[in-house]
Amino acid sequence: MITFVATPIGNLKDITLRALEELRAADVIFCEDTRHTVHLLSAYDIKKPLLSCHKFNEREAAQKMIALSREGKRVAVVSDAGMPVISDPGSAVCRILKEEGEPYTVLPGACAFVCALVLSAFPADKFTFVGFLPDKTSQRREELKRYAHVRNTLIFHVAPHDLDDYVGLLLEELGDRRACVVREISKLHEESVFFRLSEGYAGERRGEFILLVEGAEEQAPACGLSPREHVAALMAEGLDKKEALKRAAKERGVPKSELYKQTLDL
């Protein structure tokens, strides 16, 4: 059997009793970084064979897991911290296991973005977990455009050295909104820092970061105007067509291309 096991995101005491039982019973443990996992296992006097499962070898690792499981071995899968698969290696492994018809299960436990959502006090009835944005700025912009009109709380994983870039791009693509950085969850220096995107983040830059941003405000109907009338009214105010389309699309919460088709004669 293959079991994905959540591990602590900070305080080692946050590991569950079931997780310890599974790690002690496992014949082999696949982990993101063997050096990191050894530290956790040593704290609980657990000694097991460790194999790597990181983002560059998931397919190979999955095949090894399947072979071991079919031999009757008990296989545990962990990441460095938190829930495997969630912004960590494991997604490709799960897909391959499903394709191969190999059963697996998961033991619940710590998940950083869920803890951050609670600490932020932002609306949690509906939220959108974005995770890490792409590496390239152009790709980040395109990704953020998809969330410009989402009214759910937006949640991002972010490395400390990328934080200012994230905040700047969020301000440009989403407008000025309330934001919260939660860092060092469950550790000694845990804190939640609130700010507006226009102000920027002025807190400590060390540790693990979760960035939360409030969702878009619900747009009021554009005074009963049709899409064509809306764009025409903005052009009458002095905007060129390109800017009028952009603003009308934002106000109506629709793609700009949708309005373009209806305003070809303007």
Sheet architecture: strand order including 50-52:
50-52, 28-31, 75-78, 2-5, 104-107
Could you give phi then psi for residue 60, rounded to 5 degrees?
-65, -45
| CATH of the domain spanning 113-213 | 3.30.950.10
pLDDT digits (tens, 9 = 90+) for 80-129: 999 999 999 999 999 999 999 999 999 999 999 999 999 999 999 999 99
pLDDT of residue 75: 98
In Å, how far from its chain's centre is CA 66? Answer: 28
pLDDT digits (tens, 9 = 90+) for 134-149: 999 999 999 998 898 8
Q: 191 forms bridges with which residues in the sheet?
A: 183
Q: pTM for this one?
A: 0.79
pLDDT of residue 221: 52
The amino acid occupying position 253 is G
Are both 2-110 and 113-213 of the same fold?
Answer: no
| pLDDT bracket for residue 252 (50, 70, 90) | confident
- CA dist., res. 80 & res. 82, Å (int): 7
Highest mean pLDDT among 160-164, 219-223, 253-257: 160-164
pLDDT digits (tens, 9 = 90+) for 25-77: 999 999 999 999 999 999 999 999 999 999 999 999 999 999 999 999 999 99
- Domain boundaries of the chain, sorted by first residue: 2-110, 113-213, 227-261
Two tokens at 213? Answer: 């941003």
Indicate the fold that domain 2-110 takes in CATH. Answer: Cobalt-precorrin-4 Transmethylase; domain 1 (3.40.1010)
